[in-house]
Every structure is written in structure tokens, then in C-alpha cells.
Amino acid sequence: MRRAFVQAMIVASVVMLAGCSLMPRRRPPEPGRTTLGSPLVILPAQMIGNYLLLEAKWDRNGPYRFLIDTGSSVTLVTPALAKRYPGREPFAPAATRVRVTGADGSVSELPRGSLRRIELGEAKFEDVEVLVYDCAALSAHLGVKIDGVLGFPLFRETVLTLDYPGARVILQAASDRPLLPGSVVSFDDARKTPVIPVRIADRTVLALIDSGSDAVFSLNPVGLEPRFSAGPTEGGTVGTLGGQRTRRVGRLAGTLAIGAHTVHEPMVDLSDELSAVGGGLLRYFSVSFDQKRDRVTFFRDERTPIRSPALRSLGVSFSKTPAYWRVSAFVPNSPAAAAGVQTGDLVTRINGEPVAKWDLRRYEQLVATASDVVLSFLNGTAETEKRVGVFDLVP
């Protein structure tokens, strides 16, 4: 299950991110003591793109912001947070380093230790095993400072509900009865991440439930010979731990079924890793994970089939800093290519405003609604403008 993951987002795509998974080459950590201060802990969340972002404050140094990633078997925290709350296994220059693999199979090492505590409202997690990762690139991409990524095993002692429509996260003690009355699917968590069967036409495929992915559905097509109603086509680049990879995206012909729910002609990213249900599809549901009983419940008010909207794009991928966005790739034969946009160009303004004012949510709203966008490029000490058309990468 080595896929692109948001924790290691070195270069981010302007249209959609790839998956989000981190697999250490050791037994996944278990949390220390988990304490819930009330039977139902309800945490307001912020939707940025297709991600749920939690904000927590348990001391004068907060607030701290975390993404929840059910596709990750580990929890990541920034060096600053690891230094502030060292646990029983403190970090040190000679700290144990864990080998992790990115989507392209490249291997990196991250220091391992433990965090004394993480508090999410009335939920307290103590002596949490973590890996240390600098979230600066992820923070720059989202436009919000990120202090960590919470992996699936952290919630092993609770029932975790990601309520996308309600923009909230709910934690409760495990019970015999599902929190939600929706469609219940058993999952395999041998790797401490939830893998479920889904149906594509008349074929059953195993797929990871990956809240750390911005995609609708990542599909490994090996042995399936899938049919497409549009595409697949090249869609820029996405970031991985080892660098960039080219994205290919299209719209499947037929349906995708998850439990009792149906997605008509879903948008898919082609992958050579495990197929995955991403935040672009999870956002239609409240999703409840019960790790004690290895089951997940999908609840949705509407019973009509879901259809992914057209994938609109500026045709450019960026790696981001607060001061400028560097063009990492552009889509061939796109309006951006016709306008002369080149890899390595530095964009300083979007529609006349500094790039620092364009977080992911605002930028995606612009691309979803605008017919064209004015990009300001740094040329020596001067800026030059190019008007770039927005188009349907996949109708």
C-alpha cells in the first residue's frame, strides 16, 4: 500500500492531490491511554478542499491544527510539537528512525518517538507514538499552518465518525450498535488502515478508505480493463515523498458501489498502488469507523446515485511557498501551455492579489467558477501577467 500521501506533500497538485498513506516497516504503533470526557465528543471541523481539519487548544501555545488520515498507519507531528511534549520515548539526535515508502517506492527515514499527549476537545490521547515530519510544504499548500496528521491507529479505542456534510468529527466509546443507521461494511485492518470491498460494474475490488486523499477514487486498473466515458488524460503532477509523479485521470463508464450506495460514472485517478476511496467521495457521507469490530458505516441522507462533477483545471501544477508558487508542471495542449507557461516559472499574484492570500479553498473555488485567471510571473525584478483559461480537464 505504497501510495502518494499528503503528509509528505513535497509538490502539490492544483487540481487534486493523490492519496495519503504512510506505511512504516515495523508494527504500527498503538496509542497509550485514551480518555473521553463525555459519552459523545463532538469536534467542529473545517473543510479545506476534501480534507477535514481539526483545531485543538490545550495550552497557551495553541491552537494546534491536525488533519485526520485514515489511510495512514502512523501519526505525524512537527518537530516543534514533538519537542514541546516529549513522551516516554523522547526524541534525541540518535532517535530511532523509521523507514517509510512513498508512492514511487522511494524510501526515506523519519525519526520516531512519542508525544506525551494530544487533546482533541474532551478526548485525550496519552503517550502517542509518532513520527516527526516537517509539515511546512503541506501548510503552504493548504494555506493553513498544520501541526500534525492523525493516523488511523490513534482512534483504535474509540468509534471515529467523520461527518463531512456536518463539518465535524465525533468520538465515542465502542458499542455494539453502530452510531449511524447507514450501510455497514466490514473492513480488513491487518495493516492498521481500513480496506473494504467495493464493486466496479460486476467486479469486486479492495480499496482503502483514505480521508487523507483529495481524490474521488484512486483505481489500480490491473486485471480490470476498465472502460471510460471520458479520458483518461494527463492531469499535471502530484507530490510524493520521493518527488513528483504524473497524474492520469478520467471518468469511468458504469458505476462504483460502496455498500448500498452507488456512484455513477465516478472520476478516478489511475494508480499502480492499492485502490482507494478518497475525500472527494467521502465528502458526501458521514463515515463511522469501529476498529473494535472492524466495521465502517456509510450514512447519507439522499439515496440517489452520486455523480462526480466535471474536473476543472487551470492546467498548471505548483509547489507552493508563502511568497511565490513555482510551476512544477503543466498539462500538454492546455490553455496554460498555449499561454507559454513553463516549468520553473514563479507566480507571485493571482488576479492581482499575492499568492499568500490564496489558500486551497479559495483557489479551488476560483478554478471551479472562473472562465480564466490572470497569473503574475516574476521576471527578474519585474512582474508580467498572463491570462490563462480554465477548462474541463475531464467533463
Domain ranges within the chain, ordered by starting residue:
1-309, 311-394
Look at residue 110 in the predicted model and tell me its pLDDT. Answer: 85
Please list the pLDDT of the chain residue by residue as tens digits (395 residues): 333 333 333 222 222 233 444 444 444 445 578 999 999 999 999 999 899 999 999 988 889 999 999 999 999 999 999 989 887 766 555 556 666 654 445 566 788 888 999 999 999 999 999 999 888 888 888 888 999 999 999 999 999 999 999 999 999 988 767 667 889 999 998 888 999 999 998 899 999 999 999 899 999 999 898 999 998 998 876 654 444 567 899 999 999 999 999 999 999 999 988 999 999 999 999 999 999 999 999 999 888 889 889 999 999 988 888 889 999 888 988 999 999 999 999 999 999 999 999 988 899 999 999 999 999 999 888 899 999 999 999 99
Q: Are 274 and 207 in contact (CB under 8 A)?
A: yes
Give a three-class secondary structure readout of the chain: CCCCCHHHCCCECCCCCCCCCCEECCCCCCCCCEEECCCEEEEEEEEECCEEEEEECCCCCCCEEEEEECCCCCEEECHHHHHHCECCCCCCCCCCEEEEECCCCCEEEEEEEEEEEEEECCEEEEEEEEEECCCHHHHHHHCCCCCEEEEHHHHCCEEEEEECCCCEEEEEECCCCCCCCCEEEECECCCCCCEEEEEECCEEEEEEECCCCCCCEEECCCCCCCCEEEEEEEEEEEEECCEEEEEEEEEECCEEEECCEEEECCEEEECCCCEEECHHHHCCCEEEEECCCCEEEEECCCCCCEECCCEEECCEEEEECCCCEEEEEECCCCHHHHCCCCCCCEEEEECCEEHHHCCHHHHHHHHHHCCEEEEEEEECCEEEEEEEECEEEEC
- Selection from 238, 219, 209 nearest residue 18 by Cα: 238
What sign for the dihedral angle of Cα 75, 81, 87, 89?
Answer: positive
Look at residue 106 in the predicted model and tell me its pLDDT. Answer: 53
| Alpha-carbon separation of residue 5 from 69, 113, 311, 320, 365 (angstroms) | 9, 21, 21, 17, 23
Distance CA 144, CA 356 (A): 10
Q: CB under 8 Å, gap of 24 or more: what pairs does 225-232 form?
A: 226/200, 226/252, 226/253, 226/268, 227/252, 227/253, 227/254, 228/252, 228/253, 229/253, 229/265, 230/394, 230/395, 231/394, 232/268, 232/270
Q: Do domains 1-309 and 311-394 have the same CATH topology?
A: no
Omega cis (within 30) before 90: no
Q: Are 351 and 336 in contact (CB under 8 A)?
A: no
Distance CA 372, CA 47 (A): 25
| Alpha-carbon separation of residue 368 from 64, 313, 360, 390, 392 (angstroms) | 30, 8, 12, 8, 9
Q: Is the pTM of this model over 0.75?
A: yes
What CATH number has the domain spanning 311-394? 2.30.42.10
Q: Tell me: domain 1-309, CATH 1.10.10.10, correct?
A: no
Grid coordinates of 341: 507557461
Which phi and psi (to 5°) does residue 296 adopt?
Answer: -130, 140
Cα angle: 281, vertex 135, 169; to 5 degrees? 40
Grid coordinates of 72: 495512514
Which phi and psi (to 5°) does residue 137 adopt?
Answer: -65, -40
Which phi and psi (to 5°) does residue 211 adopt?
Answer: -70, -10
Look at residue 7 in the predicted model and tell me its pLDDT. Answer: 33
